[in-house]
């Protein structure tokens, strides 16, 4: 995995999927349109304010609520490089990795990292590097999840596995 | 050491004799469901993969339920996309006219005890009430399930909620689960299976158990689950396979156990903007309600409509308050009609809409304006959930919702039930 670098955007506990991407936008399927409403419930025009690669650093239970994949998609296309949290809601964690947005568990990051501080995430080595040179440990992934992340998401992973299997028009037997 | 029902189902689905919490397994999925908001993303992923034929069309159920009938050209095209896929590959499909809240449709027609069920909707955990392991997943992951029929799971720890005694009149399953979430917190059961046991659960109808399990996700739970009994088998038409039914062993290991005394329980409300912000209704009575919503995958079932209809009998919805009632499925709608509940809601001054999710997630049929308050039987009260980010949602039982509609302000139903 390559290193993810960006400024830290701090959020609290229990950031839910309805503030990450309000339900009224669920009819949108264009990721770039979804991006315009990312975190609309908490930060107006978040997508204009962040720089590509910036990192969300949050507390407990990030992404709680709905199973909407639109939520991590909106964050990713708004330019978020990764989400670091003390813990994630289970479905958001899976979705985030599946769409190629690293969801990184770190017990200490939210406590020590400062707002807008420049940080870098070194997933292969298992730490976040602060401006001061301090290293904050992050949790590792099981092998098959790391494989999906390295492929850039489950879609790429499936493409690889199902390549050359007959195309979309094949009719059932 | 024995296993919990959740562990047994995951063991069976992965071809193992035993699994333990923390272990990763690949499970064979028995049933996969998408709806009109999550399904199109799944189909888009399949298109990009370049292969879209489902592993087993008989095990895939596509249900229109979030915005039905279509309320815009955008929604209409999502529905069309799903309709065409279902037609082409012969998956199960619930189009307008056979539509309803997806979890209720699955409960009525598809789920059996012991199944491994995944749905592209977080409230899929509802189906654990029928003794299945049922959990929500995302759309891309669902594309993978459509193609392979398999999915990875981390075997969860199980938290047991031992319900003691019986509820008093006017208090229902919604009050139990709100009370539990209030105690556990919105991440109190993160990644865990939540199993409901004891005479309190045995005493509940299948409708009530579905309500309990529905909100497991609101405390972070991976699934809610109830060990099947005679009521489950009758409801799912599986009495003939009683001998194969999986249940938790007596010596199964639980992450923790919480006891809840049902006799002492009073009506509960989750105040804005968090589902664990729970208080007895009696402590916060008097909040003015612009809108009351009775419906959703939490409380749109016959027993819920019955409870509301009893309270509304001979009474009117207070002027200035809007009552919206949405039965969760066509069969519930028809039975409520036959029993006269629908007429009673309309006579009281309410509106009854066709089965679907309605205003629960702010899609249509009762979206809130700035500053408005909705007292709702649904399951989430997050900022902006039902419309304006400046609106507020209070989560309650159908009994509390009905008395609130009559009074025009948040009201404890116990006085109505007694009186």
Beta bridge partners of B31: B117
**Per-residue confidence (pLDDT) for residue B70, from 0 to 100:** 96
Query: Model confidence over A13-30: pLDDT tens digits?
Result: 999 999 999 999 999 989
Same domain, B256 and B365: no
**A90-98 helix and A154-162 helix, angle to the nearest 10 degrees:** 50
**B141:A94 CB<8 A:** yes
Q: Taking a C-beta distance cutoff of 8 angstroms, is the pair B314, B342 a contact? A: no
**Per-residue confidence (pLDDT) for residue B241, from 0 to 100:** 87
From B359's Cα to the closest Cα of chain A, the distance in A is 10
Q: Which of B215, B239, B265 is the last residue of a domain?
A: B265
Which stretches of chain B score pLDDT less than 50? Answer: 419
* Encoded tokens for A148: 């999906």
Same domain, B102 and B76: yes
Architecture of domain A4-162: Alpha-Beta Barrel (3.20)
In a domain, B3, yes or no: no
**Per-residue confidence (pLDDT) for residue B417, from 0 to 100:** 82
**Per-residue confidence (pLDDT) for residue B418, from 0 to 100:** 67
Q: Taking a C-beta distance cutoff of 8 angstroms, is the pair A22, B363 a contact? A: no
Same domain, B222 and B331: no
Q: Domain limits of chain A?
A: 4-162
**A64:B220 CB<8 A:** yes
Same domain, B31 and B148: yes
**Per-residue confidence (pLDDT) for residue B20, from 0 to 100:** 95
HSE of B243, CA atoms in CB hemisphere, 13 A: 1
Burial of residue B370 (number of CB atoms within 10 Å: 0-12, 13-18, 19+): exposed
DSSP B369-411: PTT-EEEESSS---TTTTB-TT-EEEE--HHHHHHHHHHSB--
In B273-312, the residues whose Cβ lies within 8 Å of chain A are: 274
In a domain, B16, yes or no: no
Q: Is the Cβ of B55 closer than 8 Å to some Cβ of chain A?
A: no
- Which residues, other chains included, contact A169 with Cβ-Cβ below 8 Å and sequence gap of 6+? none
Same domain, B177 and B291: no
**Per-residue confidence (pLDDT) for residue A41, from 0 to 100:** 86
**B333/B100 Cα distance (integer angstroms):** 10
Q: A101, A146, A158, A173: which to substitute to probe chain B, counting the most B Cβ within 10 Å?
A: A158
**B153/A145 Cα distance (integer angstroms):** 11
In what helix (H) or strand (E) does residue B240 lie, and over which residues does it extend? Answer: none
Residue B197, SS3? strand
**B89:A22 CB<8 A:** no
In a domain, B4, yes or no: no
| Domain span holding position B195 | 156-229+249-265
* Encoded tokens for A167: 């195309």
In a domain, B244, yes or no: no
**B141:A18 CB<8 A:** no
**B196/B219 Cα distance (integer angstroms):** 14
Beta bridge partners of B32: B60, B118
Q: Which residue of A has its CA nearest to B364?
A: A24
Which of A146, A99, A32 minimizes the C-alpha distance to B48? A99
Which chain A residues are within 8 Å of B52, Cβ to Cβ?
Answer: 168
Which chain A residues are within 8 Å of B224, Cβ to Cβ?
Answer: none
Which of A64, A62, A84, A71 minimizes the C-alpha distance to A38? A71
The minimal CB distance from B187 to the residues A14, A70, A154 is found for A14
From A165's Cα to the closest Cα of chain B, the distance in A is 7
* Encoded tokens for A108: 């200490």
Which chain A residues are within 8 Å of B141, Cβ to Cβ?
Answer: 94-95, 98, 154
**Per-residue confidence (pLDDT) for residue A165, from 0 to 100:** 65
Q: Which of B154, B175, B202 is the last residue of a domain?
A: B154
Q: Taking a C-beta distance cutoff of 8 angstroms, is the pair B401, B408 a contact? A: no
Place of tokens 């993978």: B144
**Per-residue confidence (pLDDT) for residue A162, from 0 to 100:** 83
The minimal CB distance from B144 to the residues A29, A158, A172 is found for A158
Same domain, B203 and B319: no
**Per-residue confidence (pLDDT) for residue A29, from 0 to 100:** 87
Burial of residue A167 (number of CB atoms within 10 Å: 0-12, 13-18, 19+): exposed
**B316/B313 Cα distance (integer angstroms):** 8
Same domain, B146 and B34: yes
Same domain, B345 and B296: yes
**Per-residue confidence (pLDDT) for residue A172, from 0 to 100:** 35
CATH number of the domain to which B181 belongs: 3.40.1060.10
In B170-209, the residues whose Cβ lies within 8 Å of chain A are: 186-187, 190-191
**B41:A69 CB<8 A:** yes
The minimal CB distance from A29 to the residues B40, B52, B387 is found for B40
Q: Taking a C-beta distance cutoff of 8 angstroms, is the pair B388, B323 a contact? A: no
Same domain, B213 and B314: no
**Per-residue confidence (pLDDT) for residue A164, from 0 to 100:** 66
Q: Which of B131, B154, B177 is the last residue of a domain?
A: B154
Within its chain, how far is the Cα of B383 from the centroid? 20
What's the alpha-carbon Rg for chain B, to the nearest Å? 20
Residue A147 phi/psi, 5-degree rounding, is: -65, -45
- Which residues, other chains included, contact B228 with Cβ-Cβ below 8 Å and sequence gap of 6+? B113, B130, B131, B236, B238, B245, B246, B247
Same domain, B327 and B212: no
**A66:B361 CB<8 A:** yes
From B4's Cα to the closest Cα of chain A, the distance in A is 20
DSSP chain A: ---EEEEEEE--S--BHHHHS-GGGTT---HHHHHTTTTTTTSTTHHHHSPTT-EEEE-SSBTBS---THHHHHHHHHT--EEEES-B-HHHHHHHHHTT--EEE-SSHHHHPPTT-EEEEETTTTEEE-TTS-EEE-----HHHHHHHHHTSHHHHHHHHHTTS--TTPPP-
**B329/B172 Cα distance (integer angstroms):** 21
Q: A64, A99, A173: which to substitute to probe chain B, counting the most B Cβ within 10 Å?
A: A64
Place of tokens 């009893």: B310
In what helix (H) or strand (E) does residue B34 lie, and over which residues does it extend? Answer: strand B31-35
CATH number of the domain to which B281 belongs: 3.30.499.10
What's the alpha-carbon Rg for chain A, to the nearest Å? 16
**B51:A162 CB<8 A:** yes
Confidence (pTM): 0.93
Beta bridge partners of B270: B278, B395
DSSP B294-333: E-HHHH-SHHHHHHHHHHHTT--PPTT-EEEE--SSHHHH
The minimal CB distance from B51 to the residues A13, A14, A168 is found for A168
Burial of residue B320 (number of CB atoms within 10 Å: 0-12, 13-18, 19+): exposed
Query: Model confidence over A104-161: pLDDT tens digits?
Result: 999 999 999 999 999 999 999 999 999 999 999 999 888 888 889 999 999 999 988 8
Query: Model confidence over A32-91: pLDDT tens digits?
Result: 999 999 999 899 999 999 999 999 999 999 999 999 999 999 999 999 999 999 999 999
Q: Sign of torsion, CA B200 B201 B206 B212?
A: positive
**B223/B192 Cα distance (integer angstroms):** 7
């Amino acid at each position: 995995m390559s290193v993810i670098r960006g400024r830290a955007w701090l959020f609290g506990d229990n950031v839910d999927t309805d503030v990450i991407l309000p339900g009224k936008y669920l009819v949108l399927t264009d990721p770039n349109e979804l991006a315009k409403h990312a975190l609309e419930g908490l930060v107006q025009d978040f997508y204009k304010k962040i720089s590509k690669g910036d990192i969300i650093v949050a507390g407990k239970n990030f992404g709680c609520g709905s199973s909407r994949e639109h939520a991590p998609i909106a964050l990713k296309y708004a330019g978020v490089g990764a989400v670091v949290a003390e813990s994630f809601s289970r479905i958001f964690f899976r979705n985030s990795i599946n769409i190629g947005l690293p969801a990184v568990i770190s017990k200490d990051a939210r406590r020590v990292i400062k707002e807008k501080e420049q940080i870098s995430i070194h997933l292969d080595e298992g730490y976040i590097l602060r401006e001061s040179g301090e290293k904050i440990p992050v949790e590792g992934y099981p092998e098959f999840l790391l494989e999906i992340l390295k492929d850039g998401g489950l879609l790429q992973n499936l493409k690889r596995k199902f390549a050359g299997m007959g195309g979309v028009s094949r009719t059932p037997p | 050491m024995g296993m919990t029902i959740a562990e047994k189902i995951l063991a069976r689905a992965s071809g193992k004799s035993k699994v333990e919490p923390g272990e990763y397994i690949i499970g064979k999925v028995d049933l996969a469901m998408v709806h009109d908001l999550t399904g199109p993303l799944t189909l888009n992923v399949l298109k990009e993969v370049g292969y879209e034929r489902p592993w087993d069309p008989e095990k895939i159920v596509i249900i229109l339920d979030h915005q039905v009938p279509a309320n815009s050209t955008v929604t209409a095209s999502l529905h069309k996309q799903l309709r065409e896929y279902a037609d082409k590959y012969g998956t199960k499909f619930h189009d307008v006219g056979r539509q309803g809240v997806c979890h209720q449709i699955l409960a009525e027609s598809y789920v059996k005890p012991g199944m491994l069920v995944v749905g592209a909707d977080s409230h899929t955990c509802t189906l654990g009430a029928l003794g299945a392991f049922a959990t929500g997943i995302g759309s891309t992951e669902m594309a993978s399930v459509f193609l392979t029929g398999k999915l990875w799971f981390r075997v969860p720890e199980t938290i047991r909620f031992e319900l003691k005694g019986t509820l008093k009149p006017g208090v229902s399953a919604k009050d139990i689960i709100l009370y539990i979430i209030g105690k556990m917190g919105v991440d109190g059961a993160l990644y865990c299976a939540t199993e409901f046991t004891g005479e309190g659960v045995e005493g509940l109808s299948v409708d009530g158990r579905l309500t309990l399990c529905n909100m497991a996700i609101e405390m972070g739970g991976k699934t809610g689950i109830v060990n099947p009994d005679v009521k489950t088998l009758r409801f799912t038409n599986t009495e003939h396979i009683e001998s194969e039914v999986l249940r938790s062993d007596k010596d199964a290991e639980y992450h923790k156990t919480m006891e809840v005394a049902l006799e002492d329980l009073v009506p509960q409300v989750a105040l804005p903007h968090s589902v664990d912000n729970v208080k007895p209704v009696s402590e916060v009575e008097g909040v003015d309600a612009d809108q009351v919503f009775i419906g959703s995958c939490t409380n749109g079932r016959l027993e819920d409509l019955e409870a509301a209809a009893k309270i509304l009998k001979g009474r009117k919805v207070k002027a200035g308050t809007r009552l919206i009632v949405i039965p969760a499925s066509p069969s519930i709608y028809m039975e409520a009609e036959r029993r006269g509940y629908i007429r009673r809601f309309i006579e009281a001054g309410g509106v009854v809409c066709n089965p679907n999710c309605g205003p629960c997630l702010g899609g249509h049929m009762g979206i809130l304006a700035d500053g408005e308050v909705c007292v709702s039987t649904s399951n989430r009260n997050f900022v902006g959930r039902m419309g304006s980010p400046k609106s507020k949602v209070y989560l309650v039982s159908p009994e509390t919702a009905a008395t609130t509609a009559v009074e025009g302000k948040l009201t404890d139903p116990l006085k109505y039930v007694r009186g």
